[in-house]
Amino acid sequence: MTTDLNQQSSFDAFIDRRHTDSMKWQKFPDGVIPMWVADMDFAIPSVITQAMSERIQHPIFGYTMAPPSLINCVAEYCTGKHNWTIETESLYWIPRVLPALTAACRIAGDTGDEIIVLTPVYHPLLQIPEKVGKARVDVSMVYQSPRIKDGQQRQSGRWSIDFTTLENAFTDRTAALLLSTPHNPMGVMFSEEELYKIAALCAEHNVLLVSDEIHCDLVLSTTKKHIPTALAAKEHAHTVLTIMSPSKTFNLAGANCSFAHTSNEDILKKFSHECLYTVPLVPTLSYYAAEAAYSSGWQWHGELIDYLRSNHDYLLTAINETELLSMDQLDATYLAWIDTSKLMSEDANDFFEAAGVGLSPGSQFGNQNFQRLNFACSREQLEEGVHRMVKAIEMIE
């Protein structure tokens, strides 16, 4: 389904979130456009609010299990969207992804063991190893095919994994590898071959591969499809714990309902036992939100992807037209990874905040030469943000 973006789209609407206790909108002073944390300024599909309203009519909100209809829905979603057949007994429901990643890292190996992360990466993944008493081992992603600016023509480069470095990072103490796929903040989708190689290394070293696939339904590329890690490396699937969620896909970060899957019974047992004591239950309403999203939210989602692609293409051109900023085409996510190294050697976050645009600092993810910009907002707001950034740069040029 495609949307003619010359016509008014429902995603064009400005929805005032300033009085909703939104984390995104309260971080910066009034007047600064928040383009940081990964939630979208778009209204969710009305089927979700309807489902929540219906459930709220019942006056009791006791301990709630995942409804069987949701479980079936998720199994159909994995097959239909990702060509991935799962056993429903191998699912475990968690409200948020982050505590689940932490629980997974806690059950892997022993205190003092090592956890590998591919950097730069979504910043909590950098903190988790220490939180669970383990040592973090960074493997830097490498930049391939340098950017060529040729007038307006520009070739996109790609961040990828140096497998020799990755292989050398494994030791007798490696307990887990934390993977963000599609990758936040670089917006890269790994190929089937890359995912296979990662899983094979983990299997060879008896390491838990924690695959955070929260961005799996935000594919902007028209030629690539998300491949679940456990599917790409079927024969090594016993080493993989996958975590998915409708929260990024359907803008439900505050209505927490996510799920973990592993075909390894031993891992599932340890993981669920750990979560029982450290991770809260999914809130009752959130189960209903998730089911409505997965069963009836896909038309909205198609329109969303069209809108995000259009915002992405606009941003890519606008950023690369500047002399001092650049970005590569994203495979997935609504988070642009903007190179600011020509603008300044330190993190440029304060500079852009002073210009009225609130970005996520690259240093947070492990590379101060970049800023992360969330473009899941109306085109008008995005254009205003870009205009402010460009104007600020022109003042110093």
Ligand X SMILES: Cc1ncc(COP(=O)(O)O)c(C=O)c1O
Site membership for ligand X, residue 104 (CB under 6 A): no
* Nearest CB to ligand X, comparing residues 253 and 393: 253
* Nearest CB to ligand X, comparing residues 178 and 393: 178
**What is the size of the binding site for ligand X (CB under 6 A)?**
13
* Nearest CB to ligand X, comparing residues 102 and 320: 102
Residue linked to tokens 């051109």: 317
Q: What is the DSSP letter of 63?
A: S
In the complex, minimum distance from the CB of residue 2 to ligand X, in angstroms, rounded to a whole number: 27
- Can you say how many angstroms the Cα of residue 341 is from the centroid of all Cα atoms in its chain? 24
Contacts of 379 (CB under 8 A, 6+ apart): 5, 12, 310, 311, 314
Kindly list the distances between the CA atom of residue 113 and the CA atoms of 172, 198, 205, in Å, as whole numbers in the listed order. Answer: 9, 19, 13
Angle at 238 between CA 293 and CA 68, to 5 degrees: 30
Residue linked to tokens 């079936």: 72
In the complex, minimum distance from the CB of residue 84 to ligand X, in angstroms, rounded to a whole number: 19
Q: What is the DSSP letter of 65?
A: P
Length of the chain: 397
Among left, alpha and beta (phi > 0; psi -120 to 50; other), residue 109 is: left
Options 32, 33, 35, 38; binder of ligand X; rule CB under 6 A: 38
In the complex, minimum distance from the CB of residue 341 to ligand X, in angstroms, rounded to a whole number: 23
In the complex, minimum distance from the CB of residue 263 to ligand X, in angstroms, rounded to a whole number: 22
Site membership for ligand X, residue 258 (CB under 6 A): yes
Burial class (CB in 10 A: 0-12, 13-18, 19+), 206: exposed
Q: Which helix (H) or strand (E) holds 24?
A: helix 23-26
Options 212, 217, 303, 331; binder of ligand X; rule CB under 6 A: 212
Residue 319: name the closest of 368, 391, 386 by CA: 386
In the complex, minimum distance from the CB of residue 316 to ligand X, in angstroms, rounded to a whole number: 20
In the complex, minimum distance from the CB of residue 66 to ligand X, in angstroms, rounded to a whole number: 16
Is residue 99 within 8 Å of 259, Cβ to Cβ? Answer: no
Options 253, 267, 316, 393; binder of ligand X; rule CB under 6 A: 253
Q: What secondary structure does DSSP assign to 207-271, as a single string?
A: -EEEEE-TTTT-B--SS-----HHHHTGGGGGGEEEEE-HHHHTT-TTS--EEEE-S-HHHHHHH
* Nearest CB to ligand X, comparing residues 38 and 318: 38
Site membership for ligand X, residue 180 (CB under 6 A): yes
Is residue 241 within 8 Å of 208, Cβ to Cβ? Answer: yes
Site membership for ligand X, residue 188 (CB under 6 A): no
Q: What is the DSSP letter of 5?
A: T
Options 160, 184, 239, 311; binder of ligand X; rule CB under 6 A: 184
Site membership for ligand X, residue 286 (CB under 6 A): no
Give the footprint of ligand X on residues 113-142 (CB under 6 A).
Answer: 122
Contacting range for ligand X; rule: CB under 6 A; set: 75-83, 106-114, 245-253, 289-297: 245-253
* Nearest CB to ligand X, comparing residues 335 and 382: 335
Options 245, 286, 340, 371; binder of ligand X; rule CB under 6 A: 245
The Cα diameter of the chain in Å comes to 64
* Nearest CB to ligand X, comparing residues 260 and 389: 260
Site membership for ligand X, residue 247 (CB under 6 A): yes
Residue linked to tokens 């909108």: 25
In the complex, minimum distance from the CB of residue 333 to ligand X, in angstroms, rounded to a whole number: 8
The whole-angstrom separation of Cα 139 and Cα 70 is 37
* Nearest CB to ligand X, comparing residues 118 and 214: 214
* Nearest CB to ligand X, comparing residues 136 and 238: 136
Give the footprint of ligand X on residues 214-233 (CB under 6 A).
Answer: 214
In the complex, minimum distance from the CB of residue 254 to ligand X, in angstroms, rounded to a whole number: 9
* Nearest CB to ligand X, comparing residues 221 and 341: 221
Give the footprint of ligand X on residues 83-102 (CB under 6 A).
Answer: 96-98
Chain positions contacting ligand X, by CB under 6 A: 38, 96-98, 122, 180, 184, 212, 214, 245, 247, 253, 258
